[in-house]
Amino acid sequence: MSIEPLSLEVIDSKDLSGQEYSEILELCSRAYRQDMKPFLDTFGGAIHILGRYRGLLVAHALWITRWLQCADLPTLRTAYVEAVATDEKYRNRGFASVVMERLAKEIRQFDLGALCTGSPDFYARLGWQLWQGPLFIRTKDGLIPTPNEQVMVMFLPNTPVLNLEASLSAEWREGELW
């Protein structure tokens, strides 16, 4: 017995229909067990990957552009991944992996891929590496340490040589800092 493939669509947030936005919001809110509207509304310029199975949105991920800096190197144009979600009824079928593999292909023109997660084993299987060094948020007043975060990175064709044990910082933003 073969399983129907997941159909994927890559779509800019400005091109989402009201129905598509509602589907994303409902899926992410169920998956994260909280209202994700305030969180999703902070992502200006997001690019979404929608994974549909038999027409139903069952998996999702998005990326936004952020500027990460390793130690004193120049800032890196980073595809920062957010809102990775799979409907609970459709988990453990590889759908999230398919979405993340497509995302990895779509972000190849960036300097780096990054995400913050509590599930590093899932992303490690897909080629993401856990950042080992200290993490900070850059503000106009200096660096704020964020020792309780787990950030993972994906090296891309344009990624310079980076030391995973060096410091890594991201610009301050509203909502979740990482």
pLDDT at 174: 86
pLDDT at 112: 98
Beta pairing partners, 10: 49
- Asked if 83 and 28 count as a contact pair (C-beta separation under 8 A), the reply is yes
Backbone angles phi, psi at 130, to 5 degrees: -75, 130
pTM, rounded to two decimals: 0.95
pLDDT at 44: 86
pLDDT at 1: 42
Position 34: which residue type? Q
Q: Indicate the burial class of 142 (C-beta count within 10 angstroms; 0-12, 13-18, 19 or more).
A: exposed
pLDDT at 3: 58
- The Cβ of residue 81 has, within 10 Å, a number of other Cβ atoms equal to 25
Separation of alpha carbons 87 and 58, rounded Å: 5
Spell out the per-residue pLDDT of the chain, length 178, in tens.
Answer: 445 689 999 999 999 999 999 999 999 999 999 999 999 999 989 999 999 999 999 999 999 999 999 999 999 999 999 999 999 999 999 999 999 999 999 999 999 999 999 999 999 999 999 999 999 999 999 999 999 999 999 999 999 999 999 999 999 998 889 9
Structure tokens given for 138 = 């850059």
Q: Indicate the burial class of 105 (C-beta count within 10 angstroms; 0-12, 13-18, 19 or more).
A: exposed
Using DSSP, state whether 162 is helix, strand or coil: coil
What structural domains and CATH numbers belong to the chain?
A: 7-171 (3.40.630.30)
- Name residue, tokens 């787990």: 150
Separation of alpha carbons 67 and 114, rounded Å: 10
DSSP 124: H
- Asked if 97 and 58 count as a contact pair (C-beta separation under 8 A), the reply is no
